[in-house]
Amino acid sequence: MNRSGNSAHRKRLGGAVRKRRLALKLSQEALAERIDCHRNYVGSVERGEQNVTFDTLIRFAKALGCTLADLTREGRC
């Protein structure tokens, strides 16, 4: 099975998260508080370093006031 390419997908999704966060004028720390995780985790997700689970993706979307469908569309996933 070809698992290549997911890194690019992760980075694009992370970019979409970052773009939404900045549009809301939220710091990584403020977003982390909404999601109940550490600020470093938010940074790591935004850089595409994390293989985030579906439930956590839903939490990110909710905290950003959008849907996961929005984030994946904006991240061209």
Judged by beta carbon, residue 40 or residue 67, the one nearer a copy of itself is 67
6, 22, 27, 65: which one contacts a copy of itself (CB under 8 A)? 6
Interface with a copy of itself, residue 4, by CB under 8 A: no
Q: Directed axis angle between helix 54-63 and helix 28-35, to 10°?
A: 120
73 binds a copy of itself (CB under 8 A): yes
Using rule CB under 8 A, residue 36 touches a copy of itself: yes
Among 13, 17, 26, 42, contact with a copy of itself (rule: CB under 8 A): 13
The type of residue at 35 is I
φ, ψ for residue 10, nearest 5 deg: -60, -45
Q: Look up residue 63 and give its two tokens.
A: 């905290």
- Return the H-helix or E-strand segment holding 45: helix 39-46
- Which of 35, 39, 41, 43 is in the footprint of a copy of itself by CB under 8 A? 35
Q: How many residues does the chain have?
A: 77
